[in-house]
C-alpha cells in the first residue's frame, strides 16, 4: 500500500477509528468530509428522530478527530452529486421501483469522490469506516469481502463498486467488531467514542421518504386503485409512490386475510395486492451487472443477497448480453423488488462479492412465459417507464397467471 491515503470521514466513530488507525500506523492520512447540501432540521425538530449523518455537526466532529490525530482535514461540497442521487431516488419510486440509495451513493458519490481526490493529491488508496474487507489476488485483482463481524457487515452496500474502485479502497476496521471499534476510540481518546449511529437515509433528514417523493414527483401520488391478482378493484389509494413490493402495513384495506403489495403499475396507478405466498419468486433478471474480476464464461454458483438483512440464498447466476444476468434460486425467495441491488457472493470462503447489479424483473420457478414481476422497465438509469418490448402484458395479468400456477 502507498503511504498517502484519503480517508472519507462522516464524523461517526467508525470512520474516525479507521482514520486514527491508519495515522497511528504511519500512513499519510488526509481526512475528507463530503457535504451533501441537505438543510438540517432546526429547533425542536433537530432533537427528534434517530441520529442522521452528513450535517455540519458531523463535519465538526470529524475535524476534531483530525486535529487530535494530527492529520489535515477538508470538507468538500458534493451537493450536486447528491442532488443527482436524490433525483434518481425519487424517479425510482415514481416508477414503482424500490431504490437503495446507499448502494448507489457509495459507487457514484462517496468512493468516486475520494478516488478522484486521491488522483489529484497523489494518493494510491482511499479508505472508509465501512465494515467490510478486501480480498486481493494476483495481478491487482480485488473483490469486496464480508466483514469479520457479520452482524455489522456492510459489503452489500459496497457491492456495486467498479473494479477500479475496489482496487483502490481500504477498510481498516473490517476485522473488528463494533464493540472493539468503540474500545479503540476510547483508548485513543476520540471525542466520538460514544456517538450514536445514524439510522436513516441522509437526505431524508428526519421526514418520511414519502414526503420527499410527493414534493418532487407529485404524479406518483395521483389516486389509484388497489386490485387483486385477477384485476378486481377492492379499494383506493393515494398514489403508487407510497408503496413497495412486499409491503403489508399502511394499505388501509380492512378486514379479511392480510394483504401484501405484489406489484406496482405506475402508468395506471394501480397497486396489485394479494396473499403473502404470491410474493415468492424463483428467478430474477439483474441489470447493469458489474463483475470485479471479469465476466464468467458461463453459469456460476453463488449466494445471492437481494436486500440489506436478507440472508443470501443459493442460486445459479448466468451472465447475459448487455451487462445483465439471470439468477435462478434453488428455493423461492420472498419479494425481490425491482430497483434493489442484488449481490452475488462466492470465492473460496463464499464471502466475496463476485458480481452485483440491479433487479430489473422477477418471476416464479418454472414460469417461462410472462415474467411475474412488478416492473419491466429499462436498465437502471433509463428514464423510460413503459413496459419492455418483450412483453406487453400488465403486471396484473402476470400476477393472475402466476397465482393460477402456484
User: 3-state DSSP call for residue 112?
Assistant: helix
> Would you state the cell numbers that stand for residue 339, as one nine-digit string?
430497483
Residue 357: name the closest of 395, 320, 314 by CA: 320
CB 111, CB 169: distance < 8 Å: yes
CA distance 227 to 146: 41
**Rounded Cα–Cα distance for residues 99 and 388 (Å):** 19
Exactly one of 54, 69, 105, 159 is catalytic; which is it? 105
- Distance CA(153)–CA(167), nearest Å, equals 19
Among the listed residues 54, 69, 159, 202, the single catalytic one is 202
| 335 within 8 A of 382, measured Cβ to Cβ | no
Strand ranges inside 291-351, DSSP E:
300-305, 313-320, 324-334, 341-346
β-partners of residue 283 are 328, 363
Residue 202 is a catalytic residue: yes
Which residues 6+ apart lie within 8 Å of 261 measured at CB? 243, 244, 245, 246, 247, 248, 251, 271, 272, 273
Check if 69 is active-site: no
Q: What is the DSSP string of 30-57?
A: EEEEEE--PPPP-GGGGGSSS---SSHH
Residue 64: helix, strand or coil by DSSP? helix
Q: Which residues are catalytic?
A: 105, 202
Amino acid at each position: 500500500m502507498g503511504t498517502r491515503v484519503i480517508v472519507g470521514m462522516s464524523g461517526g466513530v467508525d470512520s474516525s477509528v479507521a482514520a486514527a488507525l491508519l495515522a497511528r500506523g504511519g500512513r499519510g492520512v488526509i481526512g475528507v468530509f463530503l457535504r451533501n447540501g441537505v438543510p438540517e432540521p432546526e429547533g425542536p425538530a433537530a432533537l427528534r428522530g434517530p441520529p442522521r449523518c452528513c450535517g455540519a455537526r458531523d463535519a465538526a466532529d470529524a475535524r476534531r478527530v483530525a486535529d487530535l490525530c494530527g492529520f489535515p482535514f477538508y470538507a468538500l461540497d458534493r451537493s450536486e452529486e447528491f442532488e443527482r442521487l436524490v433525483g434518481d431516488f425519487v424517479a425510482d419510486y415514481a416508477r414503482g421501483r424500490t431504490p437503495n440509495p446507499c448502494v448507489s451513493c457509495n459507487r457514484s458519490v462517496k468512493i468516486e469522490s475520494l478516488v478522484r481526490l486521491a488522483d489529484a493529491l497523489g494518493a494510491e488508496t482511499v479508505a472508509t469506516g465501512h465494515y467490510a474487507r478486501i480480498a486481493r489476488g494476483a495481478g491487482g485483482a480485488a473483490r469486496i469481502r464480508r466483514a469479520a463481524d457479520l452482524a455489522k457487515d456492510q459489503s452489500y452496500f459496497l457491492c456495486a463498486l467498479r473494479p477500479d474502485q475496489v482496487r483502490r479502497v481500504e477498510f481498516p476496521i473490517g476485522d473488528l467488531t463494533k464493540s472493539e471499534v468503540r474500545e479503540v476510540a476510547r483508548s485513543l481518546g476520540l471525542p466520538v467514542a460514544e456517538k450514536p449511529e445514524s439510522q436513516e437515509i441522509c437526505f431524508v433528514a428526519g421526514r418520511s421518504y414519502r414526503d420527499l417523493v410527493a414534493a418532487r414527483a407529485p404524479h406518483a401520488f395521483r389516486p389509484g386503485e388497489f386490485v387483486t391478482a385477477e384485476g378486481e378493484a377492492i379499494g383506493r389509494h393515494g398514489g403508487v409512490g407510497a408503496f413497495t413490493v412486499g409491503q403489508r402495513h399502511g394499505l388501509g384495506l380492512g378486514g379479511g386475510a392480510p394483504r401484501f403489495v405484489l406489484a406496482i403499475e405506475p402508468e395506471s396507478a394501480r397497486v396489485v395486492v394479494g396473499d403473502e405466498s404470491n410474493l415468492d419468486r424463483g428467478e430474477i433478471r439483474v441489470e447493469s451487472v458489474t463483475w470485479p474480476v471479469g465476466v464468467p464464461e458461463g453459469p456460476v454458483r453463488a449466494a445471492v443477497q437481494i436486500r440489506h438483512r436478507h440472508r443470501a440464498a443459493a442460486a445459479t447466476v448466468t451472465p447475459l448480453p448487455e451487462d445483465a444476468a439471470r439468477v435462478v434460486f434453488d428455493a423461492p425467495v420472498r419479494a425481490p423488488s425491482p430497483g434493489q441491488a442484488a449481490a452475488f457472493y462466492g470465492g473460496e470462503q463464499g464471502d466475496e462479492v463476485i458480481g452485483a447489479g440491479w433487479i430489473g424483473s422477477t418471476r416464479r420457478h418454472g414460469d417461462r412465459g410472462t415474467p411475474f414481476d412488478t416492473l419491466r422497465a429499462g436498465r437502471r438509469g433509463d428514464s423510460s417507464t413503459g413496459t419492455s418490448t418483450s412483453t406487453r402484458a400488465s403486471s396484473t395479468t402476470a400476477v393472475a397467471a402466476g397465482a393460477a400456477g402456484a
